[in-house]
Every structure is written in C-alpha cells, then in structure tokens.
Structure 1
Amino acid sequence: MTKHLLSLADLTQSDFIWLIHRAAEIGDLGGPNSDLLAQRCVGVYFRKTSTRTRTSFAVAAVRLGALPLVYGPADLQTNTGESIEDTGRVLSRYLDAIVIRTAADHDEVVALAQASCIPIINAMTATEHPTQAISDFAMMKRQLGNLSGRRLIYVGEGNNTAVALAFAACRIEGFRIHLVTPEGYGLPDTAKSIATRLSAEYGGSYVEQHEVSPDIEPADVVYTSRWQTTGTTKADPDWRARFEPFRLTETLMARLSRSGDSVFMHDLPANREEDTESSVLDGPQSIALMQSEQKLYTAMAIYEWCVPR
C-alpha cells in the first residue's frame, strides 16, 4: 500500500511514533550517508518560497542515494492549466515520491495523492505543516527525552505550523500544548475539532486563549512563529497592533520558562524584532538552529518510511 504523508491526523499511531523516534535517532547519529534510496528519483515541487524545507528534502534525497528533481512554481504545466491530478498520474510514471508545498488548501495534496501511485509528502499547505511538527517533536525528544508529561506554549498566530503542533501534541499521551493567539487569529474551527478528537483518542491535550495573561503556567518549550507565514498578507490593516502583545521578548520568555531550564523554538524564518527579539532567538535557551538542522534528519526518516525499496 502506498504511504502518503498528508496530515498528522491521517497517520496510524504506530507510524506517527515511529517517525518521531526515527527522526530523533537519525539526528543523534548526525544523519549518516546511506544508499537506502539508490536508483530512486524524488520530485521536490515547491509552489511557495522555502529555504529549510526544500533544501532539507533535496539534500536528504542525495544523502540517501536518490536523485532529487527540484521544481519551482513555474516549472510544471500546472502553471499553464494542467490539473494536479493529471500531473500526479504522469509524474508517478517517472518518480518514486513527490514532496509538495502548495499555496492551496489541503484538498490539493489529497487530489494529488488520489491520482498518484507513489508517496506524496505534504511539505506545507495553507492549512497544515505536518513535516514541521514531526521534526519539532523529534527535536524535543532529543533535547528533553521522554515527551509524556511535557508542556509547550505556542505564542503567535494559529497558522499551519500551530495546527500541526496541536495535532502532534494531542497524539502523545500526557503532552500538553497551550496556544496563546491573538483574537481572530487562532486555530481554525476544523483544526480544533480534529485536535479534540485526537486528544480523546491518544491522551494529549490542548488549550487556547487569546491574551498573554500573567497566570500562564511556565512550560518546557516556548515556541513562536513568523506572523506572516510565507509572506501572506492580512485583511485587517491594523493587524500588527493586535499582534504586538504576542512578541516573544526577553521578559515574556523569562515569564513562560521553567527557571531557565526551558528551551525556545522557532520554525524560521523569523522577522527579528517583530515576532521575536533577537536576544531571544540568539539567546542561550534557543535551539532554533538545531531545530532547523533537524529537518534534514526528519526528511531522511520520512523517505525511509514511505519510499518503496
């Protein structure tokens, strides 16, 4: 059966846990070179900007012995009207997997997967960023050890990264995620429903509030993300005023940390002095660069999981 990675909500629990553990294991090993995917070809198709995710999947393919074919937004005939389904049917005859980032919603990657007989890996849609969350939880496992009983505070917009983090957190028994988002910029209702279902089934939990109140319990991980995901704009001309209290400052980081033992994470890119202060991003609690490097090892684990050999 073809294995697709479209949403964290779709994975079996055994596959979800395996991906986190294997990505952490490869990270601990430093991502050794391997010929695991020798004679394979992987399409890396990015219709939105990317530095880390596109590079990590391309480099991971090379280090596993595969040939990556990297496509930009104007390279395929989808740019001239060919359907994503026809694109999938054709590329399935050439490639062994497709990694795709799209500006569209989740339905597009689902349509691509339904038309393809090779693995489709969702490297971010407008609604979810599953590979980011797998990588982040692998990084947390490497840094903190056992994830059960841990707590993460996410401060900022309820974007596709926040959605994926909530889905992942709710799948880990005893893990708690606390989302602190501006009013009107929280998790979408559909994502809340899915997170609630995953929480009931697997034992993790999430809460969300819309103010940075002084009584928030400190956490093991403090996480923020760029306020304008992949450069998207917002309809409200005064949105920056809404977001101002959610900037991750040194003062806020100290308030949300467990006596200095907590780590700071950011999925990058960061808009310095906007979503976070440079003193936090570059500070002693920040593991943002390690977190970015982990994406390479996570890409290797994902290929190992889904690409047939």
Structure 2
Amino acid sequence: MFGIIQVEGGEAVKRIKDWEELTIQDNFLFQKVMRNKRLCQHLIEKILQIKIADITYPDTEKTIDIRLDRKSVRLDVYVKDDTGRVFDIEMQCTDEKDNGLAKRTRYYQAMIDMDVLEKGDDYSMLNPAYIIFICTFDAFDRGLPMYTFRNRCVEQDGIELNDEATKIFLNSKGDSEALDPDVRAFLRYVDGKAAEGVFVQEVDKEVRRVKQHDETRREYMTLAMELKRQRQEGIAEGLAEGIAEGSANEKKKIIVTMLQKGLSVEFIADCVQTSAEYIIELGKKQHLL
C-alpha cells in the first residue's frame, strides 16, 4: 500500500514512502483522489466507453470477508452505479509471477459476486462487474495500452458467455491514438508525465489538494508507523525463528556425530535433551540405525 520498489544489492525491496513522495501511483493517494465522485465517474466512463448517471461508494477501501476462515479482499476503489453495476479499480505497480495478476482478478471477481448476491438470491440477479487494473507496466508484453478480457467460446469465435464479467488491464507504458484522449493522458500522468488536458489537470489538482490536507497526512503517517511497527515485529519474529532453526540444525549434527561414534540412543537423548524416538527416526534416515 505504501511501498516503492528500489534495487539494493540486486534485490527488489519495498520502502515506505514519505508523505511528500506520494504520487497517483501510490494506493493511498489514488484512493483519496478517486473519492472525488466526479473524477472517478468520468474515468470509469472513459475507460469503458459507457454513460453513468451516478455512482456510490459502499465503503472506503472496501474489505470483503465472506467467511472467517477465508482470505479477505481489500479493494482500492469499489463503486456501484445507479443500475447496480459494480466497478473495482486497482492501482498496480508490481507485476506478479506465475500469472498472479490474472489469477487475482479471478479471485476478486468471485469474492465480489459472493458479496453482491444476497442469501437466497437467484444467480440471474448478479450485476455486471468490471475489474480494472491500472498498471505501471505492460502486464502482457504486447505493447497495448489496454487489454480487455471477457469469457469467450474456444471452439467458435464470436460466441461470448455473457456472464457480464469484464477484466481490464491498463498499461501506463503503452500508447495508441485509438485510445480515448482522457484515458491516454491519464496513463501518461500515471507514468510520471505532466498533466495534459482538462480532465488530467483536474486529477493533478485533486492530488495536490489531498496532499495539502493535514488530516489526510496524519492518517497516512499513522498507517505508515503502524506498518513499520508490524515489519519490525515480523523481522524480530523471523530472526527468532532463524535462531531456533539454526539451533535445531546444530542439534541434528551433534546427534548424527554421536551416532556415528557408536554412542547409545539413551545416552545421546540425555545429552541433547530430546526424545529417544526422535534420535531413532533421525538415525534411520541417516542409515546409522
């Protein structure tokens, strides 16, 4: 949510940005800017080439929890229009291995559908849903500024499943004159270029307004400090686990050495303070017993 990718020693690591460094690429700021209903609605209309009478925000950074034992979904910008259509917009700055990004849209779609459909409702009541990923990279390496996916028949072209589920990946590195001018300018802005055109200039103005808002700044700093605390605790926990794992490996080495010297299982168990069963199991694996 706050990360910026840097290269240190050849490895990618995440750093928590200072407030002054935030841009439209950062989830926190992107969410706040998209709380401007007029800008958010206009962006959706231009990306999908549709008209929307009005949009509502069910939640800020909506979290969907279907069951306590299932992974929850936290969505960046989740809105509905007056007809019930659902729109999820995500800012994505990191590509994922093993087709992870595409699989994430599949999971998001499933969770959104389960959240939308009330208990006892018929499947026909599922509303059209659009998942839009704004990527700072080319997710499919084909050079397109926008990739739109719907479920289609493999055996015959032209047959759509018509399940009204659409996934869109925007590529800030791509460009095409066929793209809507506002979307084209927005992608350049996401890529770090100057704000061009009335719409993107208004987006940039909203970015600057949000960054001048003291309460929002304090909110970010509080979240950033909490994230740092969690990371520090995670590092400490990982270090403790590493020490414990190292101790366990050293104990194994000692047991193997003592078995090789022909010492009895009972004597070894007493020396290293472990069970005889564990020593026997280890000895069999090492072909010493």
Pick the structure with greater CA Rg.
2
TM-score of the aligned structures, taking structure 1 as reference length: 0.29
TM-score of the aligned structures, taking structure 2 as reference length: 0.30
